[in-house]
């Protein structure tokens, strides 16, 4: 699989690398290449402990249509 990684230079010897869409996966390195290597290792470790799943969330209108309406008592 491929993942997008955002690499940011913080100083001449400090680079941050973050996996796009995974807020808690940011690492640093002394060079851009080291930061990318470190984030790759961190991503592999995290994926070994969990997985991505796809869920579907219905809109409120669709949810209400699935709820039977109660007849009003006069």
**pLDDT tens digits, 32-51:** 999 999 999 999 999 999 98
Rounded to two decimals, what is the model's pTM? 0.69
Q: How far apart are the C-alpha atoms of 18 and 25, rounded to whole Å?
A: 6
Show me where the domains of the chain are located.
5-65
Q: What's the mean per-residue pLDDT of the chain? A: 88
> Which two tokens mark 1?
């699989």
Q: How far apart are the C-alpha atoms of 4 and 62, rounded to whole Å?
A: 34
Q: Band of the pLDDT at 18, cuts 50, 70, 90?
A: very high
């Amino acid at each position: 699989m491929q993942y997008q990684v955002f690499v940011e230079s913080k100083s001449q010897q400090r680079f941050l690398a973050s996996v796009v869409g995974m807020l808690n996966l940011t690492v640093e390195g002394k060079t851009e290449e080291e930061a990318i290597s470190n984030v790759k290792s961190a991503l592999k470790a995290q994926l070994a402990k969990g997985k991505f799943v796809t869920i579907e969330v219905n809109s409120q209108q669709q949810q209400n249509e699935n709820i039977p309406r109660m007849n009003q008592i006069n």
